[in-house]
Structure 1
Amino acid sequence: MDHSDYPVGFYFSLSFEGEDAAFKEVSGISKELGVEEVASGGENRFKYRLPTTSSSKNLVLKRAIVPTGSKLITWCANTLDGGLANAIQTQDVSVDLLDNEGKVLMKWTFHNAYPINYSVSDLKSQESEILIESIELAYTYFNIQ
């Protein structure tokens, strides 16, 4: 395999409700199996390490702020501002890793996702950086295709 065939971390896309959303950074794609330590009676040299449930981190999305017209931002606002009087509307969110021709190499689908945090980078009058919005999503599980 030539080095030019290896996937690169900067060529990806995110889709939500059929809408492609451009992001500069996606983080939190991870799974971890919990371990419980159990001491055995009479055996003092070690503890048994038994598997428990698996867990995942929250998915964090970062991009230049989009002033209007984003379904994703509308969903975030409705969820975060609505309180718990109305049921939270979960959605499936997909992240696709693309090859140099734009074809999907890998796809992560996050099931039953919902926003738990929305933030905007600091406003600084002496810097000319692009304003970044961050969206953090909790989800039930993800699968890899």
Structure 2
Amino acid sequence: MASSDPITGFHFSVVFELLPQFSIDTKFQSVNGLKVTMETEAYAEGGQNKFKHNFPIRSGYQDLVLKRGLTSEMSGLAMWCTQAMEDFVFYPANLIVSLLNEKGVPIKVWYVSHAIPLSYEFSEFNAEENKIVIETITLKYNFYKEIPVPNF
């Protein structure tokens, strides 16, 4: 049964359509960038000086930023990013971002199309702090769309 309660964002999954894929490739600390905005063109009407008309031109999508703790596990996602950054070989990938309920069942799902890596970075190494190293992957993508999830 569907709930009208707001959804929390701490239980989620990210699945790439990439091969090879290892268990670490679905585990992330945060996902940011599911955002769409509309580009407009201003038009000044003759004789009307109070405002300009704004006409929609096209939608644009923000970069997707994925963060996770760095581990020594082999990662197909890391290999994909490295191949793009070092060898300039780009294979666009699709991915699915899902918000999950307490049982691990998707309640909201977004399909992200044609993603390529823009940056691949690691957080600071500092001998004076005992912090987990964070791996950050920034992706450019064409669009996303929400996939309807049936309510049980």
**What TM-score does the superposition give when structure 1 sets the normalisation length?**
0.90
Q: Deviations over 1:30-73 (max 9, x none)?
A: 10111211101121121111111100100000000132411100
1:97 alignment partner in structure 2:
99
1:76 alignment partner in structure 2:
81
Aligned 8 A contact 1:119 1:135 in 2: yes
Q: Give 1:2 shift.
A: 7.2
SS at match of 1:43: coil
Structure 1 residue runs without a partner (length 5+): none
2:124 alignment partner in structure 1:
122
SS at match of 1:45: coil
2:17 alignment partner in structure 1:
17
**Alignment length (residue pairs):** 141
1:38 aligns with 2:43: yes
Instruction: Supply the distance in 1 between the matched residues of 2:116 and 2:30 (Cα, whole angstroms).
Output: 18
1:55 alignment partner in structure 2:
60
2:134 alignment partner in structure 1:
132
Q: Deviations over 1:66-107 (max 9, x none)?
A: 324111000000011112xx4x21010111100111110011
Instruction: Supply the distance in 2 between the matched residues of 1:125 and 1:61 (Cα, whole angstroms).
Output: 25
Structure 2 residue runs without a partner (length 5+): 148-152
Instruction: Supply the distance in 1 between the matched residues of 2:145 and 2:93 (Cα, whole angstroms).
Output: 14
Instruction: Supply the distance in 2 between the matched residues of 1:143 and 1:59 (Cα, whole angstroms).
Output: 14
Runs of 4+ in 1 over 6 A off after TM superposition: none
Instruction: Supply the distance in 2 between the matched residues of 1:123 and 1:112 (Cα, whole angstroms).
Output: 32
1 or 2, which has the higher strand percentage? Answer: 1
* Identity across matched positions, percent: 32
**What TM-score does the superposition give when structure 2 sets the normalisation length?**
0.86
Cα RMSD (Å): 1.7
Instruction: Supply the distance in 2 between the matched residues of 1:117 and 1:90 (Cα, whole angstroms).
Output: 14
SS at match of 1:44: coil
Instruction: Supply the distance in 2 between the matched residues of 1:95 and 1:130 (Cα, whole angstroms).
Output: 24
